[in-house]
Structure 1
């Protein structure tokens, strides 16, 4: 099952999409306005989110597909977004190439403790079709397509698509500049939906792809598979939640294997399309912040 946040902020609604159709769950129960509300209800009832949603769908009106396509917003209002790095071999290579201290990334790639870092708060990330940002003081900027894990009270309840925007020039100058390279206005996007964890057979067996276009011309188009991860989803989640006061609803991005070459940097107006099999496609344009 897929869950979408639709409508404007004054009329937020949670939509469920299944093979049978799309349904307005908020119309069935006004207290369920978001995926967070649904996850909370499932936690209280000690049931899966899909079971609660299926019950609501019995009395929910159907939604036209155009309603979801035209009004989709960030699918969750996550209190925090975190991210993991150096989880794929190509990511480790890219970080070495950009860095003045490449041995640090080899140590993380081969080490027992993964790199997990804070990424964004709700006022720093955007949803589908909203502009993601590149810093005006950065010279080398890239998107990073990633599988996002949606957590409720630290437990995995779903998956989404994420874009972990990165200033490679700032981080490459010195690894201690990582927060500035990663955390800024519009530094992240998530969407277009949440795919329930129960409906994903194996998060390590999903095709992932990214296309970057400028003025209608395709500049980058590559794909990979989440099976190329050298860390498991459960391992990354455990590292994030252990010894950490995690919020009620959060998203953990799990790293990237799709990195444009050294000669590429994003420009204002570029279009980024990121897709993950069985979840969906996240589209954003680029703006300078």
Structure 2
């Protein structure tokens, strides 16, 4: 724990410097500021100046955190700034849900749960830096391998919790997966498009269609069935609508669907076709 706490100034400092780079040196900074919740909070004229001032604060504090000696006052200031980020993102998500974060990239990305989790992680990192008994140079030189692993793990977590950075790593991974797995054709040889057409003609699909909030997110084959997942919302909570489509029976009435709570895994709703085929049964639980 002492090693992790001692390395937090490096993590927080690196994130602040990256964020300052976007606000101060990106040619798209003005557009990013205009897409942010600063417009609603401060007005159109003050949004860009406030965005730039925040960049100067991040640049200064980030440089102080990275340069020894490690001062407790720097960690306290960084923690306070992270708390401010968390409060701002909470406000932005409620008051301006279509606004962009504008935090680590000029690319437009709405404030999401991942953005809030990243800000909360910064608050925790800053708090650990405050209670750290020593500086990061001594800690890193004493345990270089463990220290490097901690830094890489935390920075990877920051990137993973940043929707605005998805284009740099998540989209290439998805494209690679598509090239390797050929998602338009399942392991059974039945094209996914044929499965989707069958389920969209089914009564089960028509009954849950108003709940759906995405196209096909995932699919897999299990025996004589293909399961197709869509993101959805049911009774105000995020869920996954899982359609079970028989591979051998092309009749739409054979399609089944289960609505599963993303948080608990509980099946909230289950609808079977008018003529249930043989195969695994989807669990039914009261809504």
Same fold by TM-score greater than 0.5: no
Structure with higher RCO (Cα < 8 A, 6+ apart) = 1
Structure with a larger share of its residues in strand: 1
Structure with a larger share of its residues in helix: 2
User: Normalising by the residue count of structure 2, what TM-score does the alignment of the two structures yield?
Assistant: 0.21
